[in-house]
Chains A and B, each alone.
Chain A
């Protein structure tokens, strides 16, 4: 039963990674990338590595998302296209 759960979460990693690559809007891509590392850290717990999972959850899902959003916010004001 836990094997099926692991397979479902690995499929979630693939779907959210594909979504992060193919999204047009930057914010949606950042959200999907955060979800990728969130599912990856659940997989690390299944692989009996709770310390790696904790690091992945704090850096990948927390810090990287905030830094990416900060960068988008800083570069958005200099955009040439006024419709964006």
Chain B
């Protein structure tokens, strides 16, 4: 049962990466692009947690935590730039 759920989550993550990259390529405005990057960051965090489970090395979860904090700052910087300049 757990293996089936992991396989299904991996397929869903693959589709999320695919659609996020498609949105980044098409992206009409910069706002679409930065939201696609934000989506891909969250999906990447789930990929890292999944890799931590599959490799049975739970130090990787710390990487996901650092990742979430820093990518939030990056998205915030771009949003502030688009609004009124950094």
Contact = CB atoms under 8 A, between A and B. Distances in A.
Instruction: Give the secondary structure class of B's interface.
Output: helix
A27 B30 contact: yes
Interface range for A: 35 or more
Contacts of B47: 5, 9, 42
A1 B81 contact: no
Contacts of B66: 54, 57-58
Interface of B: 7, 10, 13-14, 17-18, 21, 24-25, 27, 30, 33-34, 37, 40-41, 44, 47-48, 51, 54-55, 57, 59-60, 62-63, 66-67, 70-71, 73-74, 77-78, 81-82, 85-86
